[in-house]
């Protein structure tokens, strides 16, 4: 067993959309069905990008990434493309599932502490399910987006609202970016103290995501 250098807090959620390894059909097939009846089994929308979590302690800051994600997006009936002027009514459902045992901090000792904190043995998936979204018109290139949904982690489920930006790309895809702050204690995770309390992990963590979504065959 390697000595503990410092503890890393739970990888949130996130999210949040949130924040990601690359989407793959293998990941989707392996994801346990989270009792959803709102999404089509074969989504037409392809999502790629990354999701990562950052935080701090009394010793140093840290960053961990979601290495395995399953993102499912379904469109409203009759919708066969995504355009900024119609996207407000286009998306019917979104689910994001991140594998807790495959969150990676690029350090074996940190990974061990993170997996223990997440209860990854008993709660293998961190899941977000959208319940609604709202576009915020803007004069800038990016459009504001508020995404409501439920986030489930370590057996705890809470309602969350994610703030993001959405931007149309030249090839017909959309870039979705954002950050959401979470507090570990809200999810039943006790911020650890090591080395007789001289090392304390901060309760707050930040979930970041940088995603691209497009409909199959929409590339120019």
Instruction: Give all domains of the chain, ordered by start, each with its CATH number.
Output: 25-215 (2.40.128.110)
Where would I find the H helices in the chain? 25-30, 108-118
Residue 37 scores a pLDDT above 50: no
Give φ, ψ of 68 to 5 degrees: -140, 120
Tracing tokens 């959208």 back to the chain, one arrives at 130
Where is pLDDT greater, at 130 or 168?
130
Tens digit of pLDDT for each residue in 102-122? 999 888 877 888 888 888 889
Tens digit of pLDDT for each residue in 184-212? 889 887 766 666 666 677 889 999 999 99
Sign for the pseudo-dihedral over CA of 3, 60, 63, 146: positive
How far apart CA 61 and CA 90 sit, in angstroms, is: 39
Angle among Cα 214, 35, 154 to the nearest 5 degrees reads: 90
Closest CA to 172 of 40, 71, 45, 20: 45
Residues for the chain: how many in total? 220
Sign for the pseudo-dihedral over CA of 173, 38, 28, 34: positive
Encoded tokens for 76: 């409203």
Predicted TM-score of the model (pTM) = 0.75
Least confident range from 28-37, 80-89, 210-219: namely 28-37
**Mean pLDDT computed over 47-57:** 92
Where is pLDDT greater, at 131 or 169?
131
How far apart CA 120 and CA 184 sit, in angstroms, is: 15
Residue 49 scores a pLDDT above 60: yes
Closest CA to 118 of 133, 129, 137, 105: 105
**Mean pLDDT computed over 79-91:** 71
Residue 162 scores a pLDDT above 80: yes
């Amino acid at each position: 067993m390697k000595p503990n250098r410092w503890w890393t807090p739970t990888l949130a959620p996130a999210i949040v959309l949130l924040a990601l390894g690359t989407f793959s059909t293998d990941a989707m097939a392996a994801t346990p069905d989270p009792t959803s009846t709102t999404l089509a089994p074969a989504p037409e929308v392809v999502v790629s990008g990354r999701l990562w979590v950052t935080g701090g302690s009394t010793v140093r800051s840290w960053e961990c990434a979601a290495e395995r994600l399953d993102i499912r997006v379904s469109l409203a009936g009759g919708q066969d493309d995504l355009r900024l002027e119609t996207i407000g009514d286009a998306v019917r459902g979104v689910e994001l599932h991140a594998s807790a045992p495959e969150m990676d901090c690029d350090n074996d000792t940190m990974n061990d502490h993170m997996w223990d904190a997440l209860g990854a043995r008993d709660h293998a998936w961190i899941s977000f399910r959208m319940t609604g979204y709202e576009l915020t018109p803007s004069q800038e290139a990016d459009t504001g987006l508020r995404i409501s949904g439920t986030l489930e982690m370590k057996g705890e489920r809470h309602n969350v609202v994610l703030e993001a930006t959405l931007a149309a790309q030249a090839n017909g895809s959309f870039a979705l970016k954002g950050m959401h702050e979470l507090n570990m204690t809200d999810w039943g995770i006790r911020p650890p103290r090591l080395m007789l309390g001289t090392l304390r992990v901060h309760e707050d963590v930040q979930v970041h995501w940088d995603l691209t979504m497009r409909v199959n065959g929409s590339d120019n």
